[in-house]
Amino acid sequence: MLYSHSFLDMRNFLFLWICIACSTSLWSQDFCATQLNEDNVSSYIAYTNYLKSFPAREGQQTSYLVPVSIHSIGSSSEDYLSFYEMVNILCEVNDDFSTTGIQFFLSQEPLYHLNSQLSIIEPDNYLNALSSLTATYNISNTLNIYFTEIKNNTDGTVLCGAAPFPSWEDLFLNGRGGIIMNTNCKSAAGKTLTHELGHHFNLLHTFETSTGRELVTRQSGMANCEYAGDGFCDTPADTKNYSCPYANSGEKDPLGIIYEPDWSNFMSYYGSNCLSHFSTEQSAHMMAVLENDPKRNIYLQFPNIYSLPEATEILSPSAGSTMPVNEILAKWTPATEATWYSVVLKKLSGAILYSGITQETELVIQLANAFSNQQVLLEVSPINERYFCSNNVVNQRFSLGAPTSVYQDFIDGVSFKFVPNPVSNGKSVVARFNAGFYGNAQVEVVDLYGNILSSKPIYILKGENNLDIDTQSLTAGIYLVNLITEKGNVARKLVIE
């Protein structure tokens, strides 16, 4: 279907806030409480009239990148989704959108917000919650996605996500768009977010009936697909159904014809395992909204300056080696164009034992003793804001041995030194030392009169440690830096020029 005016006219009677409720594997009974009323209908009609000026874009092959700002809300850090989980969700979304001409990239590293008032949302208050989230945390010119906990409905159903049409943003969201996602729906998060993004770009459910029930027939003179249902003629008439695959129970349209829906369309309510595509007309409509709607084409102003990262090389563990299960040193070479590194340790069966994303080129992984005496695979993938889905993955196979049972408890004072030393005022200096244990410590900078000028807690890693010392507030002179640990103390002289 072309981007037709008749399709836009019929939207005057639609629900404006589209939400989706689902369980971890199937959409449960949906929960949409907000409808068009006398307070918002005029605004929506005005928006619809503007949409009539959208040009048809059939046959165009242009593709676009949309910047995404991901937020995780919690009352403590335990409530947050991990960076790794968020990236995996967005990777699934990009795969779902691969035929639409739209792809999503990270505007920055995910943002974490401690906010007890917005960390648990009542299902009937998600609109106010999203309004508060956008007013507080919105990153301009990007698509903001907020992960927080949403309580179950009183009937036990789960609201996994919600997204407003563009026309509601001026009414309720201070002109800021956004999508709210339920952290309790991790297993279905990818398909839920894909569905909500469809609403964000003005798509309706395939079973929409607010303008009349769509007929199954596509016969000229009888079909009503351009103004009933979701307004697209390449999405078959649908009935609200949650089975996956679709189980025909004899449901019929107003003419008595049995429905034959597309139960793989992302905008339906069939099981998440069944959903696999947008239709051609749905894709064209989303592209037209992105190009022409000023609430959406602001995304195209955000710079995309990223290139595909080069591959890295795993330095540790070496192939075929054995490492203690509670002290696995993972180390790799830096990769050009990489912002972060995705690190996964898994069994040969594929079961993941550890996953994370880091800016560093090494880390120590500690597993429970029960995982010893088996072969595993370490995977490292250099990623950045644009390329974060299994790019240039390298792997190393090795074995997990028995845990190290005896740690040499020492601070190697001989190796404790500053680089450089002396150092010019305001320049960075690194304290390097070796430790024989993991533990908490304190670093103090003291002047020659014994005055403590600064003090901060650190966590010591077994092996080589590198600690940045802040010299911004230090004038020229001689200072002592004390490293205070539960195993002993070390002091060294630092000269500021």
The string of pLDDT tens digits covering residues 201-224 is 988 889 887 767 899 999 999 999
Distance separating alpha carbons of residues 3 and 58, to the nearest angstrom: 8
Domain at 5-300, CATH from 3.20.20.140, 3.40.50.300, 3.30.420.40, 3.40.390.10: 3.40.390.10
In sequence order, which ranges of 110-188 are alpha helices (DSSP H)? 126-137, 169-172
Q: Is the dihedral of CA 150, 155, 156, 159 positive or negative?
A: negative
pLDDT band for 175, please (50, 70, 90 cuts): low
Give CATH for domain 411-496: 2.60.40.3080
220-245 pLDDT, tens per residue?
999 999 878 888 999 999 988 778 88
- Examine domains 5-300 and 314-401 and report if their fold is the same: no
Which range is least confidently modeled, 279-283, 307-311, 373-377, 465-469? 465-469
Q: What architecture is the 314-401 domain classified under in CATH?
A: Sandwich (2.60)
Q: Where are the domains of the chain?
A: 5-300, 314-401, 411-496
Q: pTM of this prediction?
A: 0.74
Residue 110 Cα distances to 53, 304, 321, 339, 378, angstroms: 36, 17, 35, 13, 24
Question: Are 133 and 73 in contact, with CB atoms under 8 Å apart?
Answer: yes
CA distance 427 to 431: 13
Closest CA to 397 of 379, 376, 381, 380: 376
